[in-house]
């Protein structure tokens, strides 16, 4: 079974790109059932699942066959997906087949335990205490037992309290708050299969906290230590002793494109393992013959790097078996024209498009809420939805929230409490008046995004046409390396970022995006009231508190204009008609969420 290993959102850059957490509190640990509504046309998709989780396919014998899939064109980055530079939906789509987690999201965001790997139980509510028991047969593909030590490594990498000699977080992780959330970390014999975690405060997302990731025995060895010595040093807060190990975790798996690290450095804990990497072309996985759980249905799974515009033709030519293109009217029409040769999967998703202001350095909107208001007045949100999204989903509407979705039951209540409709209609004259009052006519606005991306290019063109009329000078700053390490986004070389967050129904993940100094707060927004509201939400198990604080947070983000929400993404993917078990999901895991179950019909 697969899992999203960190309760963070996923930034979706090109078609669907970076992986982080935009979530949906509103109603408990998961979104409403409607979040998973989907349809599949032009063929059947085999076994009917009993719920939104993985289907029970009975006894499986791995078939000696190859399935070729694409989720986009961006290059593979590496085995460790949990640094700010590598945490993307593209990268996770591959690595999540190789590295298992303790839980996974069903198609509608419901949380399921990874029964192949672990069982767990809550043993206390005050303080919140969870006992985990790892499958006695669970081993890394190199034969090393999966143990408590691996959970300790996962905790250490997310512990901002472990700092190097310069006072910087030792592990360069996209998640940094687990050291405060669970101060003692996993308690148990490092070589054992049982451990307990005790939370400092109630945690509504405790089921998706990340206790499995990279192999502790590999990291320890690269740090010149035994696994037990590494665990002891972590528990003793001996940052000096584990600095070398942390440096390896940060960068040791990052290699030049086309070159996989030595096989002994990249063992698998999942049904697949990394086999080969062709730079700019593909990454190939092969079934893990030593997997302790349900084996992969198909021996070889190849991820090809293909532009959206070439996906349908590649599917028609049988160069690909499964595609996940950015939904456009033309793409849907092309797929429908293929008739019974393909299955088309459509449905709601927990992914949403937005414009985020940059509050760093000398960005145009850094110190002026008035200029942010003027820009919001001229962004043609309704035209964008009507022209680009409604042809795909006639029910689509302008998105006026961040933490709940239009298809969830609490959406209307949250929007009514937080947003008064002031940016529903374009107001060129109002925007022009603000620019004149602020002596800011002619303000340059660089809109950055991961290019090429036809739909985002169209959005920027529509924004430019409208906002230039108000007195801005909008510049299309699309860049293929926008999200790449050292790229435009990391440098802060933009005024407004255009991308999407891909979520899975987490309750507290938005804290990592909107609270001060959090790893996914790329634009460096800071507001004490927002921070306090997130703290209240994240430390309560009460759904009523979650809803009330969500309303509060949404209002603050509208009043201060962290950014401008645009629309929820419609989901669209397609597969060869002879493939079974390809199922749409609303979550950030994408179409490959159950790829280990895909198989070609006899």
Q: What is the pLDDT of residues 453-462, one digit of tens each?
A: 889 999 999 9
Q: What is the distance of C-alpha 450 from the center of its chain?
A: 16
Instruction: Report CA dihedral (359, 357, 467, 567) to the nearest 10 degrees.
Output: -170
Query: pLDDT tens digits, residue range 537-546?
Result: 999 999 999 9
**pLDDT of res. 484:** 81
**pLDDT of res. 84:** 85
C-alpha closest to that of 14 among 347, 485, 455, 567? 455
Task: Give the CB-side neighbour count of residue 368, counting CA atoms within 13 A.
Answer: 19
Query: pLDDT tens digits, residue range 248-279?
Result: 999 999 999 999 999 999 999 999 999 999 99
User: Tokens 């990279």 identify what position?
Assistant: 214
The set of residues, in sequence order, having a beta carbon less than 8 Å from that of 330 and lying 6+ positions away, is: none
Contact 303, 70 (CB under 8 A): yes
User: Tokens 């009460």 identify what position?
Assistant: 542
Tell whether the model's pLDDT for residue 16 goes beyond 50: no
The secondary structure of 112-124, three-state, reads EECCCCEEEEEEE
**pLDDT of res. 36:** 36
The set of residues, in sequence order, having a beta carbon less than 8 Å from that of 522 and lying 6+ positions away, is: 356, 489, 497
Contact 303, 282 (CB under 8 A): yes
**pLDDT of res. 409:** 87
Band (pLDDT 50/70/90 cuts) for residue 54 is: very high
Q: Is 491 exposed, middle or buried (0-12, 13-18, 19+ CB in 10 A)?
A: exposed
How large a percentage of the chain has pLDDT more than 90? 81
Reduced to 3 states (helix: H, G, I; strand: E, B; else coil), residue 404 is coil
Cα(326)–Cα(72) distance, integer angstroms: 9
Read off the DSSP letter of residue 438. Answer: T
Q: Which one is predicted more confidently, 469 or 13?
A: 469
User: Tokens 């034969």 identify what position?
Assistant: 143
Mean of pLDDT values over 297-307? 97
**pLDDT of res. 563:** 98
Cα(585)–Cα(561) distance, integer angstroms: 31
**pLDDT of res. 26:** 27
Mean of pLDDT values over 150-166? 95
Cα(306)–Cα(52) distance, integer angstroms: 29
**pLDDT of res. 19:** 32
Mean of pLDDT values over 273-297? 98
**pLDDT of res. 48:** 63
**pLDDT of res. 390:** 93
Angle between helices 369-378 and 428-437 (to 10 degrees): 160
Cα(319)–Cα(74) distance, integer angstroms: 18
Mean of pLDDT values over 217-246? 98
**pLDDT of res. 77:** 94
Per-residue burial over 175-202, b = 16 or more CB atoms within 10 Å of its CB, e = otherwise: bbbbbebbeebbbbebeebebbbbbeeb
**Lowest-pLDDT range of 82-91, 289-298, 333-342:** 82-91
Instruction: Report CA dihedral (469, 474, 476, 478) to the nearest 10 degrees.
Output: -130
Reduced to 3 states (helix: H, G, I; strand: E, B; else coil), residue 132 is strand
Query: pLDDT tens digits, residue range 420-438?
Result: 999 999 999 999 999 999 9
**pLDDT of res. 33:** 24
C-alpha closest to that of 261 among 96, 95, 403? 95
Read off the DSSP letter of residue 285. Answer: E
Mean of pLDDT values over 82-90? 88
Sign of the dihedral through C-alpha 458, 320, 590, 158: negative
Query: pLDDT tens digits, residue range 17-46?
Result: 333 333 322 222 222 222 334 455 544 455
Contact 287, 65 (CB under 8 A): no
Q: What is the distance of C-alpha 351 from the center of its chain?
A: 9
C-alpha closest to that of 575 among 105, 47, 40, 98? 40
User: Tokens 């000699």 identify what position?
Assistant: 165
Q: What is the mean pLDDT of the chain?
A: 91
Tell whether the model's pLDDT for residue 4 goes beyond 60: no
**pLDDT of res. 521:** 94
**pLDDT of res. 9:** 59
Contact 566, 447 (CB under 8 A): no
**pLDDT of res. 503:** 79
C-alpha closest to that of 33 among 553, 409, 523, 388? 409
The set of residues, in sequence order, having a beta carbon less than 8 Å from that of 367 and lying 6+ positions away, is: none
C-alpha closest to that of 76 among 328, 310, 261, 319? 261
**Lowest-pLDDT range of 76-85, 472-481, 505-514:** 505-514
Domains along the chain?
118-211+215-252 (3.90.76.10), 359-399+414-499+514-564 (3.10.105.10)
Band (pLDDT 50/70/90 cuts) for residue 317 is: very high
Cα(502)–Cα(371) distance, integer angstroms: 28
The predicted model scores a pTM of 0.82
């Amino acid at each position: 079974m697969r899992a999203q290993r960190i309760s963070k959102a996923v930034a979706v850059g090109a078609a669907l790109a970076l992986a982080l957490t935009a979530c949906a509190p509103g109603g408990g640990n998961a979104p409403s059932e409607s979040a998973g509504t989907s349809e599949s046309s032009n063929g059947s998709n085999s076994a009917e699942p009993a719920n939104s989780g993985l289907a029970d396919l009975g006894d499986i014998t791995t078939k000696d066959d190859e399935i070729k899939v694409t989720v986009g064109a961006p290059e593979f980055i590496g085995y460790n997906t949990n640094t700010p530079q590598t945490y993307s939906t593209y990268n996770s789509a591959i690595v999540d087949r190789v590295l298992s987690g303790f839980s996974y999201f069903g198609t509608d965001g419901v949380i399921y335990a990874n029964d192949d790997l672990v069982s767990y139980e809550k043993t206390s509510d005050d303080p919140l205490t969870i006992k985990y028991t790892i499958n006695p047969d669970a081993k890394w593909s190199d034969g090393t037992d999966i143990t408590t030590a691996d959970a300790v490594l996962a905790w250490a990498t997310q512990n901002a309290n472990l700092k190097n000699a310069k006072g910087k977080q030792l592990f360069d992780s996209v998640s940094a708050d687990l050291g405060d959330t669970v101060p003692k970390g996993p308690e148990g014999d490092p070589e054992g299969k049982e451990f307990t975690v005790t939370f400092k405060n109630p945690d509504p997302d405790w089921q998706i906290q990340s206790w499995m990731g990279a192999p502790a025995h590999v990291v320890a060895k690269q740090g010149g230590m035994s696994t037990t010595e590494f665990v002891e040093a972590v528990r003793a807060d001996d940052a000096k002793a584990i600095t070398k190990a942390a440096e390896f975790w940060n960068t040791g798996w990052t290699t030049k494109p086309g070159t996989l690290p030595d096989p002994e450095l990249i063992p698998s804990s999942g049904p697949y393992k990394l086999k080969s990497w062709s730079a700019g072309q593909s990454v190939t996985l092969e079934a893990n013959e030593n997997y302790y759980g349900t084996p992969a249905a198909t021996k070889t799974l190849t991820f090809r790097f293909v532009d959206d515009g070439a996906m349908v033709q590649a599917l028609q030519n049988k160069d690909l078996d499964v595609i996940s293109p950015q939904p456009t009217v033309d793409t849907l029409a092309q797929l429908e024209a293929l008739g019974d040769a393909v299955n088309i999967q459509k449905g709601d998703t927990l992914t949403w498009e937005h414009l985020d202001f940059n509050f760093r350095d000398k960005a145009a909107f850094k110190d002026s809420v008035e200029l942010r208001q003027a820009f919001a007045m001229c962004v043609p949100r309704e035209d964008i939805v009507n022209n680009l999204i409604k042809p795909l989903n006639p029910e689509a509407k302008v998105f006026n929230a961040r933490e709940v979705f239009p298809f969830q039951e609490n959406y209307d209540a949250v929007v009514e409490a937080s947003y008064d409709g002031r940016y529903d209609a374009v107001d060129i004259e109002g925007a022009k008046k603000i620019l004149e009052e602020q002596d800011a006519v002619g303000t340059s606005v660089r809109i950055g995004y991961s290019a090429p991306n036809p739909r985002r290019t169209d959005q920027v063109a529509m924004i430019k046409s409208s906002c230039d009329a108000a007195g801005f000078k909008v510049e299309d700053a699309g860049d293929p390396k926008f999200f790449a390490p050292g790229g435009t986004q990391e440098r802060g070389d933009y005024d407004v970022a255009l991308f999407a967050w891909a979520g899975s129904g987490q309750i507290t993940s938005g804290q990592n995006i909107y609270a001060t100094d959090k790893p996914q707060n790329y634009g460096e927004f800071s507001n004490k009231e927002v921070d306090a509201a997130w703290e209240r939400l994240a430390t309560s198990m009460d759904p009523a508190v979650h809803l009330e604080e969500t309303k509060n947070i949404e209002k603050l983000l509208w009043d201060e204009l962290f950014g401008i929400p645009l629309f929820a993404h419609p989901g669209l993917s397609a597969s060869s008609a002879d493939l079974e078990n390809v199922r749409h999901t609303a979550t950030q895991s994408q179409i490959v969420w159950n790829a280990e179950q895909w198989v070609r019909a006899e």
